[in-house]
């Protein structure tokens, strides 16, 4: 194994920045409830994660012997970029989980799950939602 090369560090940093850009776009699409863009970003996000993981695996295989000050600084920048990726991904996850909880609660309100004594017969009439649109924004 050889020491960390400038090319490998720059490659990892570029791929991490690409993933950060995708996550930023995902965050914006989530705030705008743009489901079409979100579907497009999923494949980009998966690809970016896969190539970054491969690059980091190659970088991890390199020995850190003879690291100079520039390598240490570049590794520090890469670590901070990876922490920012983790933070933004966690923020997006929390937003998605919160949205799912909100819509789950809304659906439970519209379609009650309480049943009466006889099996399969609802205790009260189901709300007729056919032809009714639910707005995403209140």
Has residue 132 got a pLDDT over 70? no
The residue-averaged pLDDT of 50-57 equals 94
The whole model's pTM is what?
0.71
The second-level CATH assignment, the architecture, of 6-110 is Up-down Bundle (1.20)
pLDDT at 23: 97
The answer to whether 4 and 65 have CB atoms below 8 angstroms apart is: no
Which two structure tokens, joined as six digits, stand for 100? 């799912």
Spatial separation of the C-alpha atoms in residues 15 and 47, rounded to whole Å: 10
Other CB atoms within 10 Å distance of the CB of residue 33:
11
């Amino acid at each position: 194994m050889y020491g960390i090369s400038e090319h490998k560090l720059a490659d990892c940093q570029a791929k991490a920045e690409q993933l950060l850009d995708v996550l930023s776009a995902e965050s914006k699409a989530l705030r705008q409830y743009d489901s079409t863009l979100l579907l497009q970003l999923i494949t980009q996000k998966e690809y970016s994660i896969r190539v970054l993981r491969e690059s980091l695996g190659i970088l991890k295989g390199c020995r850190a012997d003879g690291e100079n000050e520039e390598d240490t600084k570049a590794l520090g920048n890469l670590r901070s970029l990876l922490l920012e990726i983790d933070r933004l991904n966690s923020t997006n996850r929390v937003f998605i989980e919160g949205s799912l909880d909100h819509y789950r609660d809304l659906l439970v309100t519209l379609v009650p799950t309480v049943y009466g004594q006889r099996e399969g017969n609802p205790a009260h009439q189901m709300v007729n939602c056919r032809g009714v649109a639910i707005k995403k924004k209140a």
